[in-house]
Amino acid sequence: MAGKDDLAAGRRSPRAVRARRAAIVIGLLIAAVAAGVAWRAGTWSAAPAPLSAASAAQIEQGRALYAQHCASCHGANLEGEPAWRERKPSGRLPAPPHDDSGHTWHHPDEVLLAITRKGMRPPIAPVGYQSDMPGFEGVLDEAQIRAVLGFIASRWSEQSRAHQARIDRAHRDPR
Ligand code: HEC
């Protein structure tokens, strides 16, 4: 029995000890959850924003860059080259559309960025793959490449944009 004498002797009752232990365990759990949330928030904000979430300013910048650097092959209206599914006499593929009718929105951001930076090169394409898609590294800086792809993403339907955002999230965090 925890009585006056125990308390007087500086000992706590078993019940008080249990309550204190429970409080410590709960406190540690809360701290762990908070740390987890903070860590995730940290990695999220450290990662660049998804292309599908480009700002209005990025989209405007991207629109001009697209007209200047991409439209000649991918079409002024993102419609791609005619008969874009059939190989040219050279054996190479034509430029596909960047709108919903193509497959740009089937790829995670990292793949779209890599293709735009380097063209169709390994590891995206097989070694020795022949393609007319030029790499824009050295022509456009990283912010411009993001802007032009952000503009392209802004032209997808709500559904396709959501689909691409899901693919991108799964690619970033494959858990
Ligand atoms: C000289 C023509 C040409 C220009 C200019 C060009 N592209 Fe391409 N692009 C292609 C071709 C051709 C392909 C298909 C390549 C293949 O599959 O071999 C392609 C494919 C792509 C793909 C992959 C699409 C998919 O669904 O697989 C992306 C992304 C892309 N281009 C982005 C761009 C961007 C962004 C620009 C402008 C900054 C641009 N391209 C300018 C010819 C071009």
Q: How confident is the model at residue 174 (pLDDT cuts 50, 70, 90)?
A: confident
Query: Is 172 or 2 the better-scoring residue by pLDDT?
Result: 172
Q: How far apart are CA 68 and CA 124, in angstroms?
A: 25
By the 10 Å C-beta count (0-12 exposed, 13-18 middle, 19+ buried), 156 is classed as: buried
Q: Is the CB of 115 under 6 A from ligand 1?
A: yes
* pLDDT value of residue 35: 63
Q: What is the pLDDT of residues 109-119, one digit of tens each?
A: 999 999 999 99
* Residue 2 pLDDT level (bands cut at 50, 70, 90): very low
Ligand 1 nearest atom to the CA of residue 104, by list position: 26
- Nearest protein Cα to ligand 1, atom 32: 116
Choosing among 3.40.50.450, 1.10.150.20, 1.10.3730.10, 1.10.760.10, the CATH entry for 51-172 is 1.10.760.10
pTM given for the model: 0.79
CB atoms within 10 A of CB 112: 24
For residue range 66-101, list pLDDT tens digits in order.
999 999 999 999 999 999 999 999 999 999 999 999
Could you tell me the distance, in angstroms and rounded to a whole number, from the CA of residue 139 to the centre of ligand 1? Answer: 15
Residue 133 alpha carbon to ligand 1 centre in Å: 5
Partners of 140 in beta bridges: 137
Residues whose CB is less than 8 angstroms from the CB of residue 144 and which lie 6 or more positions away in sequence, other chains included: 61, 62, 65
pLDDT digits (tens, 9 = 90+) for 28-44: 766 766 666 555 555 55
Question: Alpha-carbon distance 72 to 133, whole Å?
Answer: 12
**Model confidence at 147: pLDDT above 80:** yes
Give 74 Cα–ligand 1 centroid separation in angstroms. Answer: 7
Task: Tell me how far apart the alpha carbons of residues 113 and 147 are, in angstroms, rounded to a whole number.
Answer: 11
Taking a C-beta distance cutoff of 8 angstroms, is the pair 106, 164 a contact?
yes
- CA atoms of 70 and 104, how far apart (whole Å): 14
Confidence at residue 19, expressed as pLDDT on a 0 to 100 scale: 78
The yes-or-no verdict on residue 9 having pLDDT over 80 is no
What pLDDT sits at residue 32? Answer: 67
Write the CA distances from 34 to 43, 126, 135, integer angstroms: 14, 44, 43
95 C-beta closer than 6 A to ligand 1? yes
Q: Is residue 62 lining ligand 1, measured as CB closer than 6 Å?
A: no
